[in-house]
Structure 1
Amino acid sequence: MFHYAALGISILLGVGGQILLKKGAMESATFARQLFHLPTLMGLSLYVASALLYLIALRRLPVSIAFPSVSLSYVAVAVLGNLAFQEPLGAQQLLGIAVIVSGVVLLSWS
C-alpha cells in the first residue's frame, strides 16, 4: 500500500508542479525572468519531489501500472487549467479525458 501512496502523491505533486509552472509563465514577461520567478522554482521543486516518490513507487509496482497511472495527471491538469486559467475544456477534451481514465482503469484491473 505504501508504494501506491507514493505513486498517488507523486501524481499530485506533478499536477501541482505543472500548475505552478503555468502560473510562472503567465506572470513573467521574459523567459529569463520566468526561470527565476518563485512559482516556476516551486513548480520545478515539486517535479523533483514527484520524481523521487515515483522512484519509490517503481520499487514495488510494475511500470505497466505505474506509468499509465501518471496519465491521470493529464486529467487533473486539464480540469485545473480550465478552473484556474480559463483554458478550454470542451467536448473533445472531455472525450480525451474519458479515454485516459478508461485506459487507466483497464490497465489497473488485474
Structure 2
Amino acid sequence: MVYYVCLGISILLGVGGQILLKQGAIDGQTFVAQMLRPHTVGGLALYVVSALLYLVALRRLPVSVAFPSVSLSYVAVAVLGNLAFHEPLGLPQLGGIALIVGGVVLLAWT
C-alpha cells in the first residue's frame, strides 16, 4: 500500500512541478531569467522529489502499472492548464483525456 501512496504523491508532485514550470515560463524575458525565477526553481525541485518517490514506488510495483499511471498526470495538467492559464480544453483534448483514462483503467484491470 505504501508504494501506491508513493506513486500517487509522485504523480501529484509532478503535476505541481509542471504547473510551476509553466508559471515560471510566463514573462521570462530570457532563458537564464526564466531558469532563475522562483516558480521554475520550485517546479524543478518538485520534479526531483517526484522522481525519488517514483523510484520508491518501483521497488514493489510493476513498471507496467506504475508508468501508465503517471499518464494520469497529463489529465490533471490539461485541466489545471485550462483553469489557471486559460489553455484550450475542447473536444480533441477531452477525447485524448478519455483515451488516457481508459487505457489506465484497462492496464489496471489486467
Deviates more, 1:50-59 or 1:29-38: 29-38
5 Å-filtered alignment, 1:32-71, equals 32-71=32-71
Q: 2:100 matched to 1:90?
A: no
The offset of 1:30, in angstroms, is 1.2
* Structure 2 residues without counterparts, runs of 5 or longer: none
**Aligned mates of 1:27, 1:12 — CA distance in 2:** 25
| Structure 1 partner of 2:18 | 18
TM-score (norm: length of structure 1): 0.99
**2: distance between equivalents of 1:62 and 1:29?**
43
Q: How many corresponding residue pairs? A: 110
Displacement after TM superposition at 1:27 (Å): 3.2
How many Å separate the matches in 2 of 1:109 and 1:57? 19
State TM-score, norm by structure 2.
0.99
Q: Percent identity?
A: 73
Counterpart for residue 76 of structure 2: 76
After the TM superposition, which parts of structure 1 deviate over 2 Å for at least 4 consecutive aligned residues? none
What is the RMSD of the two structures over their aligned residues, measured on CA atoms? Answer: 0.6
